[in-house]
Structures are given as structure tokens and as C-alpha cells.
Amino acid sequence: DTGVSQDPRHKITKRGQNVTFRCDPISEHNRLYWYRQTLGQGPEFLTYFQNEAQLEKSRLLSDRFSAERPKGSFSTLEIQRTEQGDSAMYLCASSQRQGAEAFFGQGTRLTVV
């Protein structure tokens, strides 16, 4: 599968624990996005990378959230001290250039208990 891949697909964690998700974009896509989707809602923008530079962050991205894309390829999203309200589907997307289609990964479903 040469699409956007995310790992893990599902994560159950206890409140207060830290979690990290990984996204591997389509090869040579220099743009990478993280979105969060809750049940019955559309994806909400979290952050955006162009190569290794994080160019935009949503106000939704509190100081417990951090994202990296150190070599301009894969990206990680870490949530520290998880809360029940963090339970959602975390989607990653990538695109090749300005104005190009964004392809989504299958997402990581996080459940905080």
C-alpha cells in the first residue's frame, strides 16, 4: 500500500498517560497535516508541516500536544497527560504541493479511559 499509513490503528490508554502516534506520508509529499475527528463531526485541523517546518498550529493544539517531522518524512503526534476529551480519531494527510489533493490515512482511534 503506497498511501498514507498511520500507526497504531487503535490505542486505548488510561487518563494521564502519554501517547504517540506515527504518520508516514506518501513518498515525496512535502506537505503533511494532522486532523482530529470526533463522532458525527468533520475533521478539525490541528497542525501542518511543509517538509520539516511546522508552519501552522490550531488553537486546538494545547501545550499537551506536540508534533514533529524531523527529517521531512514521517511525523509523530504526542499527547501528554491524556484526558477523556482527547478521545477521537486522529487523521494524518499529505499532499504533494500547493493546490494538490490531500490524501488521508486510515487514522488512529484513541480512547482515553
Partner 1 sequence: GENVEQHPSTLSVQEGDSAVIKCTYSDSASNYFPWYKQELGKRPQLIIDIRSNVGEKKDQRIAVTLNKTAKHFSLHITETQPEDSAVYFCAASTDTGTASKLTFGTGTRLQVTL
Closest CB to partner 1 among residues 55, 113: 55
Measure Cα distances from 5 to 15, 26, 82, 112 in Å: 26, 8, 23, 22
Phi/psi of residue 84, each to 5°? -60, -30
What's the min distance (Å) between Cβ of 18 and partner 1?
A: 25
Cell of 111: 480512547
CB of 106 to partner 1, least distance (A): 5
Question: Can residue 85 be called a binding residue for partner 1 (CB under 8 A)?
Answer: no
CB of 45 to partner 1, least distance (A): 4
| Binding flag, residue 13, partner 1 (CB under 8 A) | no
Q: Which SS3 state, helix, strand or coil, does residue 84 take?
A: helix
Among 10-18, 60-68, 76-84, 103-111, the segment contacting partner 1 (CB under 8 A):
103-111
12-36 residues labelled b (16+ CB within 10 A) or e (exposed) = ebeeeeebebebbbbeebbbbbbbb
Residues that bind partner 1 (CB under 8 A): 4, 31, 33, 35, 40-45, 48, 50, 55-56, 58, 91, 95, 98-99, 101-107
